[in-house]
Structure formats: C-alpha cells, structure tokens
Amino acid sequence: MDIGIIGLKMAGKSALFSSFMGLGASEDGTRSNMGIVNVPDERLDELSAFYNPQKTTHSMVRFEDYPPLDTQVKQDRVRLYEGMKIKEAFVLVVGAFRRMTEDEIVEEFNQARFELIMSDLDFVIKRIEKLEKEIVRIAKNRAAREKELAFMQRLQPILESERMLRGMEFNNIESAIIINASLLTLKPLCYVINVSEDMDENIAQSAVTRIKKILEANGDNSPVIAVNAALEVELAAMDEIEIGDFMREFGIESPGREKVIKAAYELLDLITFFTVGEDECRAWNIRKGGKAIDAAATIHSDLARGFIRAEVIDHKNLIELGSMNDAKKAGKLRLEGKTYEVKDGEITHIMFNV
C-alpha cells in the first residue's frame, strides 16, 4: 500500500512526512523519502487491552515524500511524475501557513491540482499522436487502437478545461486502458491544509470549507484536513507522557498526523479485519468486497488452500460479551463459508486443514 505525499515548493509536505516517521524535517524537500507507518486503529487498541497479547501489529502504509510538483529541474520532474504513476493514492499538502488570505490558499490548492492535470494532459496528447501514427502504419490490433484513441480523445477536452478525471465512469475496455495509463487525476487524494499557530483561524477554516465546496461541486468527496505540520513534528519528537500533557493543555483530541494517516488509508478502498489471541492481536486488510477465502490467503496461503470455514464476530460484540464462549452462547460467533463477504471490524478465525 503506497501513498505519495505531494505539494508545491515549501508547502510543508516534508515536515508532514517527518511527523509520520518521528524524524526531524528533511533538509530541503528536493529528494524522495520513504517510510512505513502504522495505521492508528482504536478497535485494535481495544482488543489489545482486552487480550494483553505479547505482540500487537497494526496495518501499515508506506508513504513517500516527493519533490515539489512545480520543480523546474527536468530530471526531478521526470523522476517525480514517473514515480507518482505507481502510487495508489496521494496526500496533497497546501501551504496555507504562508498565505495571507483565503483566496491565496485556494489559489495554491488550484495550482497544485493544475500540475497534476497538465501531467495527464501531456500524457494524453502524446498518446493520441502515437496512436494516430500506429493506426495508419500497423494493421495488427487496429480495432483496439481505434477504441483507445477515441477514449483518449474523450479525455483531452476534460483535461484542457482544467478538470480532474476522478469521478468519471468507465466501461470495462476503458477501465483496462486506465490501468495501463496510470493517470494521476484518477487516483484518490487526501488534501492537507497546512496551517500555523499564528495565522488567522477563521481564514484557515474558511479556506477548508471553500475547498470542500469546490470538490463537492465536482462530485468529489475527498477528505480535506487542516493540520499544523510544524507542530506535528514537535509532537512526534515527544514521548507519550509529554504528548498527553501537551494535548490536554491545548485541548487537542488526537494528533493531526493520525487523522491524516487514517484518512489516507481509507482512500485505498480497504477494510480491516482482526485476528486475536494472547500471543498476538493483529490488523489485516483486504479490498472492500473481499471474501473469507481472500482473508485466509492474506494471512497465509496454507489457510486458503486448506480452508474449511471461518469463525466470525464483530469486535464490539466480543468486548461487550467478555469471551468467545459467551459470544458463542449469545449467537454472536458465526460460522461462514469461503464466499462470505468479510465486514470491516470483524474478528476472523480461519479453520483449515492441510
């Protein structure tokens, strides 16, 4: 699960990345940084407190901090946009802390999106030119090329009107083309509005509200989160007691970086299921709509190969009832087959024989 952190120069994306990693900020933000972080999950925390296991394992996401979207260094731009194509989603950081007005914040938001749109437009135009030549010169697979050409020609005016492609509907043939193209404006986005302690809170909140309305007007429900990345770097350097004291003093419910990590994880269209016990409580993830056999394969291929059935219970029911035996007596522990669709937050114990 790979997510890229992107933004314009000096937007604070490297500071946000550093807060995820618990590191000091990157020197200049011009090089890529990569790291794996645990996804915060209160449900797993509850189960861990319930079982007191030897080990607790969270879901994990890999983040990569990319060079600025507006870099003028050709090699950096090539590396940036080629690298972004293989990412599943993005966190786009808007440097609100350096802007004086709501309009300026929204302008940076639009400029960052414009860079993504222009990258896709450049790809589409070049692809159209190549397909037109190939259709004339190469007879083999001409029909497939003509379909792709028509599709690219449909995308071009949308991008030229400075609109993102996300939210469009595609047929099966178009979906296959999209996978190969790896267009950036089709990938899920979480927008982080990077604020500071000394900026006008009303301006920041108004900008967040306005950006949400812009997105909603285009049928886009991407999350928009205000975060003070510089403060998050300081918090990441504290121990747990210091963090707790600091948050209580300033009335902070949870660190902003946790909100961003969770929101970014949710972009990936995954659900989380749990395995529990005194040895380990662990969060696993599969795609939404995944079946019990998929959950088994995620844990280990042997479980899928020898699958018999799955014992399933919602984590809330287990904690409320106090034990698996009591849950079974109450009819909350169910036996399901391999085609059962696993639900988010369920504890799933795979019974198998190999």
CATH class of 289-352: alpha beta
Instruction: Compute the C-alpha angle 288/85/188, nearest 5°.
Output: 40
Q: Where are the alpha helices (DSSP H) in 138-171?
A: 142-160
Q: Label the pairing between strands 307-314 and 334-336.
A: antiparallel
Q: In which element (H, E) is residue 254 found?
A: none
- Residue 50: what pLDDT? 94
pLDDT bucket at 254, cuts 50 / 70 / 90: confident
pLDDT bucket at 134, cuts 50 / 70 / 90: very high
Distance CA 27, CA 294 (A): 42
Facing residues of 211 across strands?
none
The predicted model gives 272-287 an average pLDDT of 95
- Residue 131: what pLDDT? 93
Q: What b-and-e string marks burial along 55-78, b requiring 16 or more CB atoms within 10 Å of the CB?
A: ebebbebebbbbbbbebeeeebbe
- Residue 190: what pLDDT? 95
Distance CA 100, CA 195 (A): 11
Domain boundaries of the chain, sorted by first residue: 2-266, 289-352
Q: Label the pairing between strands 224-227 and 270-275.
A: unpaired
pLDDT bucket at 197, cuts 50 / 70 / 90: confident
pLDDT bucket at 301, cuts 50 / 70 / 90: very high
Instruction: Give the largest CA-CA distance in the chain.
Output: 72
Q: Tell which residue, 28, 58, 29, 32, has the closest CA to residue 280.
A: 58
**Is 67 in a helix, a strand, or coil?**
coil
The predicted model gives 247-258 an average pLDDT of 80
Mean pLDDT of the chain: 89
Residue 70 phi/psi, 5-degree rounding, is -100, 20
pLDDT bucket at 23, cuts 50 / 70 / 90: low
**Which CA distances in Å does 175 have to 84, 148, 160, 161, 244?**
19, 11, 21, 22, 47
Amino acid at 90: F
Fold of 2-266: Rossmann fold (3.40.50)
The predicted model gives 58-71 an average pLDDT of 90
